A and B are shown apart, each in its own frame.
Chain A
Amino acid sequence: MPDKEEVRIGVFVCHCGSNIAGYINIDTLVEYAKTLPNVAFVQPNLYTCSEGGINEIKKSIKAENLNRVVVASCTPRTHEPLFRSACAEAGLNPYLFEMVNIRDQCSWVHMQQKEEGTHKAADLIRMGVAKAAALEPLQENELSITRGALVIGGGIAGMSAATSLARMGYRVYLVEKQDRLGGMLNNLGTLAPGHLPAADVVAEKIGEVKALSGIDVRTSSTVTALDGYIGNFRATIETGGKEDSVMVGVVVVAIGADVLKPEGYYKYDGQRVISQFELEGRLRQGLDESIRSVVMIQCVGARSPERKYCSRICCQTAVKNAMLIREANPKAHVSILYRDMQMYGVENETLFRQAKAKGVRFMYYDPKQPPEVGGGHVKVFHQLMGKEMDLPADLVTLSTPLVARPDADPIAKLLRVPLDENKFFLEGHVKLKPLDFATDGVFLCGSCRYPANVREAVAQGLGAASRAATLLSKEKMFTSGIVARINDETCIGCQGCQDVCPYQAIWFDDKAGVCKVNSVLCKGCGACSATCPSGSAQLKGFTSKQLMNQIDEVLAA
Chain B
Amino acid sequence: MEKVEGDAGNFKITVRKKARYVDDSKCTGCGSCAEKCPTSVIDDYNEGLAERKAIYKYFAQGIPSVFTIDAPHCRQLGQGKKCGVCAKVCQAGAVDFEQKDQIIEFEVGAIISAVGYQVFDPSVIPEYGYGKIDNVVTAIEFERLLSASGPTGGHLDRPSDMKTEKEIGELKKQVNKAGKGLQRFEEKFREASAEFHKKVESGAVSPDDEQVEWMTKYAEFAGMESRLHSLEEKAAKFDVATHLAFIQCVGSRDFRFYPFCSGYCCMHSVKEAIIAKEHESRTNSFVFGMDIRAVGKGFEEYKVRGGKESGIQYIRGRVAEITEGPDNNPLVWYEDTRVREVKAKEVDMVILATACSPARGLDKLAGILDIELDEYGFIKTNPINPLDTTRKGVFTCGCAQAPMDIPESVAQASSAAARAAELVIQIEEKQVA
Residues of A within 8 A of B (CB): 17-19, 22, 46-47, 49-52, 55, 164, 167-169, 191, 193-194, 196, 201, 204, 303, 308-310, 312, 340-350, 353, 364, 366, 383-384, 386, 420, 424, 430-435, 445, 449-450, 453-456, 458-467, 469
Contacts A345-B404, A386-B340; A196 near B383 (Cβ below 8 A): yes
Contact B261–A309 (Cβ < 8 Å): no
Q: Could you list 19 examples of A-B contacts with CB < 8 Å?
A: A50-B29, A52-B29, A55-B28, A164-B419, A168-B418, A196-B384, A342-B295, A345-B263, A345-B402, A349-B259, A386-B340, A420-B297, A424-B297, A430-B297, A431-B406, A435-B414, A456-B408, A463-B414, A469-B418
**In the complex, chain B residues whose CB is within 8 Å of the CB of A449:** 297
Shortest Cβ gap from A214 to chain B (Å) = 12
Tell me which of B383, B412, B415, B421 contacts A347 (CB under 8 A). B383
* Residues 380 to 433 of chain B near chain A (Cβ within 8 Å): 383-387, 402-404, 406-408, 410-415, 417-419, 421-422, 425-426, 429
* Cα–Cα, bound, A346→B419 (Å): 23
Contacts A344-B261, A346-B403; A466 near B60 (Cβ below 8 A): no
Task: Using CB atoms, name the residue of chain B closest to A455.
Answer: B383
* Cα–Cα, bound, A109→B337 (Å): 41
Task: Using CB atoms, name the residue of chain A closest to B304.
Answer: A308
Contacts A51-B63, A347-B383, A462-B415; A432 near B410 (Cβ below 8 A): yes
Shortest Cβ gap from B19 to chain A (Å) = 20
* Cα–Cα, bound, A463→B387 (Å): 10
Contact A458–B148 (Cβ < 8 Å): no
Verify if B86 is at the interface (C-beta below 8 Å from A).
no
**In the complex, chain B residues whose CB is within 8 Å of the CB of A386:** 340
Shortest Cβ gap from A248 to chain B (Å) = 18
* Cα–Cα, bound, A461→B149 (Å): 38
Contact A384–B298 (Cβ < 8 Å): no
Which A-B residue pairs are the 5 nearest by beta carbons? Answer: A17-B149, A51-B65, A463-B414, A466-B418, A52-B29
Contact B61–A194 (Cβ < 8 Å): no
Binds A, one of B3-11, B193-201, B231-239, B286-294: B286-294
Verify if B210 is at the interface (C-beta below 8 Å from A).
no
Contacts A340-B291, A345-B404, A424-B297; A383 near B338 (Cβ below 8 A): yes
Q: A18-B148, A310-B295, A434-B411 are in contact. List 13 more A-B contacts (CB 8 A).
A: A50-B61, A168-B425, A191-B383, A342-B295, A383-B338, A430-B298, A434-B410, A453-B383, A455-B386, A456-B411, A459-B415, A462-B387, A465-B418
**In the complex, chain B residues whose CB is within 8 Å of the CB of A47:** 60-61
Task: Using CB atoms, name the residue of chain B closest to A461.
Answer: B415
Tell me which of B60, B316, B378, B418 contacts A164 (CB under 8 A). B418
Shortest Cβ gap from B424 to chain A (Å) = 9
Verify if B181 is at the interface (C-beta below 8 Å from A).
no
Contact B153–A345 (Cβ < 8 Å): no
Shortest Cβ gap from B240 to chain A (Å) = 14
* Residues 323 to 375 of chain B near chain A (Cβ within 8 Å): 337-338, 340, 374
Task: Using CB atoms, name the residue of chain B closest to A49.
Answer: B61
How many A-B contacts at CB < 8 Å in the complex? 176
* Cα–Cα, bound, A201→B402 (Å): 22
* Cα–Cα, bound, A518→B29 (Å): 45
Contact B61–A458 (Cβ < 8 Å): no
Contact B261–A343 (Cβ < 8 Å): yes
- Residue interface bits B133-153, CB-to-A below 8 A is 1, else 0: 000000000000000110001
Contact B425–A167 (Cβ < 8 Å): yes
* Cα–Cα, bound, A445→B62 (Å): 31
Task: Using CB atoms, name the residue of chain A closest to B408.
Answer: A456
Contact B259–A303 (Cβ < 8 Å): no
Tell me which of A49, A309, A430 contacts B407 (CB under 8 A). A430
**In the complex, chain B residues whose CB is within 8 Å of the CB of A353:** 259
**In the complex, chain B residues whose CB is within 8 Å of the CB of A193:** 383
Contact B149–A19 (Cβ < 8 Å): yes
Contact B301–A309 (Cβ < 8 Å): yes
Contact A460–B301 (Cβ < 8 Å): no
Verify if B126 is at the interface (C-beta below 8 Å from A).
no
Contact A349–B260 (Cβ < 8 Å): yes
Tell me which of B292, B406, B408, B422 contacts A167 (CB under 8 A). B422
Contact A346–B294 (Cβ < 8 Å): no
**In the complex, chain A residues whose CB is within 8 Å of the CB of B404:** 345
Verify if B376 is at the interface (C-beta below 8 Å from A).
yes
Contacts A349-B261, A350-B260; A383 near B384 (Cβ below 8 A): no
Contact A459–B61 (Cβ < 8 Å): no
* Cα–Cα, bound, A496→B320 (Å): 68
**In the complex, chain B residues whose CB is within 8 Å of the CB of A164:** 418-419, 422
Residue of B30, B61, B406 contacting most chain A CB atoms (<10 Å): B61
**In the complex, chain B residues whose CB is within 8 Å of the CB of A19:** 148-149
* Cα–Cα, bound, A453→B383 (Å): 9
Contact A312–B28 (Cβ < 8 Å): no
Verify if B38 is at the interface (C-beta below 8 Å from A).
no
Contact A345–B384 (Cβ < 8 Å): no
Contact A201–B316 (Cβ < 8 Å): no
**In the complex, chain A residues whose CB is within 8 Å of the CB of B292:** 340
* Cα–Cα, bound, A364→B337 (Å): 10
Verify if B203 is at the interface (C-beta below 8 Å from A).
no
Tell me which of A50, A167, A459 contacts B65 (CB under 8 A). A50
* Residues 15 to 42 of chain B near chain A (Cβ within 8 Å): 28-31
Shortest Cβ gap from B1 to chain A (Å) = 23
**In the complex, chain B residues whose CB is within 8 Å of the CB of A430:** 297-298, 407
Contact B378–A346 (Cβ < 8 Å): yes
Shortest Cβ gap from B408 to chain A (Å) = 7
Shortest Cβ gap from B303 to chain A (Å) = 9
Residue of B383, B410, B413 contacting most chain A CB atoms (<10 Å): B383
Residue of A303, A342, A454 contacting most chain B CB atoms (<10 Å): A342
**In the complex, chain A residues whose CB is within 8 Å of the CB of B429:** 169
Task: Using CB atoms, name the residue of chain B closest to A342.
Answer: B295
* Cα–Cα, bound, A340→B28 (Å): 52
**In the complex, chain B residues whose CB is within 8 Å of the CB of A345:** 260-261, 263, 402-404
Verify if B64 is at the interface (C-beta below 8 Å from A).
yes
Contact A463–B426 (Cβ < 8 Å): no
* Cα–Cα, bound, A340→B291 (Å): 5
Verify if B107 is at the interface (C-beta below 8 Å from A).
no
Shortest Cβ gap from A71 to chain B (Å) = 15
Verify if B299 is at the interface (C-beta below 8 Å from A).
yes
Shortest Cβ gap from A345 to chain B (Å) = 5
Shortest Cβ gap from A535 to chain B (Å) = 42
